[in-house]
Amino acid sequence: MHLPENPAGERPLADPGRIVPTCADSHVGTIRKSRWACGPRLSEGPLGGKRMKINHRIPLNGNDPFWKYIQLLGLPIDRGNIRYSQTGDGTDLIWVLNVTEDNPVWPKVEHLLAEHRILTQVNNIFTEAEMNSAEWFLVSALGHHGYPQPEDDFGYIDVTYESGSCCPVCRIGKVQVAPFRLRTEPKASHSQFLQLNWVFDELFVRATAREGLISAGITGIKFLAPVLHKRNTPSEQIVQIKIQTILVDALDTTGFQPVTCKSMNEEWRPNKWITPDKESNRPFCGRIKYHSMHRGPYRFAREAFIGVPDLVKSTEWFGSGGGAFRRIIASQRFRQVVTEAKWRGLRFEPIEIINEHT
């Protein structure tokens, strides 16, 4: 076992090659061969010829033998002071390596990762020029605050979404019919944009940014105040941004790990709780969602964006296990408004627009 149970306070990683049922936007990636194995097809898209880098973050016990080889390669290791337990003898430090795939020694590191059965946390690093020239972005909040109420047994699903609108197994198809309910007003007063845990396809915004979005004429949105659960009164601090438009089918799913809502699907593993018998009796819907992918940009067809407003959602669903969400997509204009106002709390990741008939 090369990975501590909970490195750097993050969720446990799993063995390489396993399909990992992670939280919706986990950056844990598998070292698996895919179409990205030779690098994303940047040269084919509008980001071609630029300098997006794919970074791998590797947090591991400082005593792991992996580090001996990394030191031989001369890569800089962050020997910070992150601890994963409290033995107090200095043997529990987490060391961290960040290495991008354009590094000349990356092939050797990749080989070592496979040999040592180590997973990495993958993210794309875009240049400012790429950020400024992109037309559309995946958008998510940098911080997730609180849980939708009632949270026991995911009770919020029944009170927030149309009854029977989503599959009870995979949660694809949910249609919101009531305000989200919050335990308390959110903290993080410095962030104008927030998301709740578990709800990765809804953004919440503070009053300053809401007024700014309205006056900038950002299109495709309405606002709905969430409700403070026990008081049963609307939040006075944030409103949900209700995105009105779902794109048509547009995602190039090449390289994505699909998860089908069916018995013994791509994520299924034998265990004592869910036998094949019990599994096959569940009310599967047969629909597909995809694991989030962090290596290379998402690619969408240009046709899907003709005439759409500044904020939209993908028609495709993402997630794993009993979680499903659509991706929020925003225009460059929306990013410019947010950036110029210096509102905090959002992550923008350029998507690649495919001209299908070129």
Whole-number Å distance between alpha carbons of 260 and 142: 29
- The answer to whether 122 contacts Zn ion (rule: CB under 5 A) is no
Whole-number Å distance between alpha carbons of 318 and 326: 6
Of the listed pieces 4-12, 220-228, 285-293, 324-332, which binds Zn ion according to CB under 5 A? 285-293
Provide the minimum distance between the beta carbon of 283 and Zn ion in the complex, in angstroms, as a whole number. Answer: 8
DSSP state of 11: P
Q: Burial-class residue 121 by CB neighbours within 10 Å (0-12, 13-18, 19+).
A: buried
Binding to Zn ion (CB under 5 A) within 155-174 occurs at 167, 169-170
DSSP state of 348: E
Exposure string over 259-272, b if 16+ CB within 10 A, otherwise e: bbbbbebeeeeeee
Minimum CB distance to Zn ion smaller for 65 or for 258: 258
Of the listed pieces 106-114, 240-248, 263-271, 282-290, which binds Zn ion according to CB under 5 A? 282-290
Of 326, 327, 325, 330, which Cα lies nearest the Cα of 350? 330
Mask for 170-209, x = binds Zn ion (CB under 5 A): x---------------------------------------
Residue from 261, 288, 328, 351 touching Zn ion (CB under 5 A): that is: 261
Residue from 216, 285, 293, 341 touching Zn ion (CB under 5 A): that is: 285
Minimum CB distance to Zn ion smaller for 157 or for 167: 167
Minimum CB distance to Zn ion smaller for 61 or for 314: 314
The residue type at 203: L
Is residue 270 a contact partner of residue 355, using CB atoms and an 8 Å limit?
Answer: no
Minimum CB distance to Zn ion smaller for 41 or for 289: 289
How many C-beta atoms lie closer than 10 Å to residue 43's C-beta?
10
Minimum CB distance to Zn ion smaller for 171 or for 294: 171
Minimum CB distance to Zn ion smaller for 167 or for 194: 167
What residue ranges bind Zn ion (CB under 5 A)? 167, 169-170, 261, 285
